[in-house]
Amino acid sequence: MIATCVLALALVVTSSAVTALLRSRAEAAPRTAPGIAVRTHWVNTWTAMPQLTEPANLPPAPFTGEKSVLVDTTLRQTLRVSTGGHRIRLRFSNAYGDTPLPLTAVTVALPQGGKAGVSATEPGSTRPVTFSGRAATTVPVGAQVVSDPLDFPLHSGSVLTVTAYLAGGQPSLALTSHPGSRTTSYLVTGDHTRDQDLTGAIPVNHWYLLSDVEVLSPGDTRAVAILGDSLTDGRGSTTNGNDRWPDQFFDRLQTRPATSHLAVLNQAAGGNRVLNDGLGPNVLARLDRDILSRSGVSWLILFEGVNDIGTADATPEAQRRVADDLIAGYQQIIVRAHAQGIPVYGATITPFGGNTPYDDPAGEREVARQRVNAWIRAAGHFDAVIDFDRVVRDPDNPRRLLPSVHVGDWLHLNPQGYRMLADAVPATLFRRSP
């Protein structure tokens, strides 16, 4: 009799819990018709690869002291999202901090005129951000925090303003950032998170602390993630212009109904390498953090390797070794992504002939580049090949870029060159979820 009562009670409790869960899910999901819920999920819409801030990229005085940074400082940043949505949440990273990172207050708003790199916001658009229901939070050493979901509609390709205030700052100079923002941020003393404009603010072309924005999206929304170095991070692109090749690739996707729902995530950093640490951890070390753990990633584009070749000794032995190791590294990335059901598209390494210091008189590095590109192009390795080398090389001198597409160093592209890369990515590779 006792066992029967316990069982009946358990069934009632279980039934109540299931009913409550279904009710909460139905309330959270948008509806297309009465009683019909649309499945939704969180998808990353913007990312910036976390890095340890080098001394030259720390905030200027008075925002960096001898043993602390951003004390009593408001930091306002703008960023261009890819896919849109009605609910958002933010992620702040303390990946490289050696002390906890206290955030006193955070707000989001729409920038004035919808522009990137401006300090002013649209009147009435500011909303407070909370963390577990609280205005303040502390990011533990090496960790990240995710904000509470916030009703804040964003259109695809729009710009978001995020403002954070740190009353006590971070009691260390080990600051997590993304220096290659190609976007202007602003610093000012005091709490100005709710101000429409920041009078007297100091501009800096870096992002700090913020690593991700996610949107609650329909179930068919997916993200294309890109692993890259400075060529993907946008060196040579226009500050506040959002004309890196991933941005221009996203713009192409937006013009096609079959791909207009896709997000594009730029997980690149200048100087990054596949095999060894440089500016930021090597790709093999950061793959889980920057790609496999990101929300909604369904495809990966890999466009890295030039810094591995360019920093290895220009001897036949060293270049044979780095080519072998790069190919093995690519295989590791493919295996690990495939284990998560993510196809990997390989992009060929673009020319660097004429660049100092990567070009070498004997051409050993060019031999390695050609060998690695031959492996990328060969069938049976990547799920598809994107031949960036073919579209930007000079047909009369294949070791070099077309003279019209680089910024003068024979390595980094200008906006025209980045447009050529964006146009070379077949949109048909992303028409449906794999």
**pLDDT tens digits, 169-203:** 999 999 999 999 999 999 999 999 999 999 999 99
Q: Tell me the chain's radius of gyration from C-alpha atoms.
A: 23
**Which string of b and e fits 57-66 if b means at least 16 CB within 10 Å?**
bbbeeebbee
Q: Is the pLDDT of residue 11 over 90?
A: no
Note every long-range contact of 55-61, with CB atoms under 8 Å and residues 24 or more positions apart, other chains counting.
55/173, 57/177, 57/179, 57/206, 58/173, 58/175, 59/175, 59/187, 59/204, 59/206, 59/208, 60/187, 60/202, 60/204
Half-sphere exposure of 173 (CA within 13 A, CB side): 12
Both tokens of 36, joined, read: 């019909």
pLDDT value at position 50?
A: 97
Q: Which two tokens stand for residue 425?
A: 């990515």
Q: Residue 138 and residue 149: Cα distance in Å, rounded?
A: 18
Q: Which residues contact 6 (CB under 8 A, 6 or more apart)?
A: none
Amino acid 6: pLDDT: 34
Q: In the CATH scheme, what is the code of domain 219-430?
A: 3.40.50.1110
Tens of pLDDT along 228-275?
Answer: 999 999 999 999 999 999 999 999 999 999 999 999 999 999 999 999
Domain locations in the chain as residue ranges: 42-211, 219-430
391: confidence class by pLDDT, cuts 50, 70, 90: very high
Which residue's structure tokens are 């009632």? 12
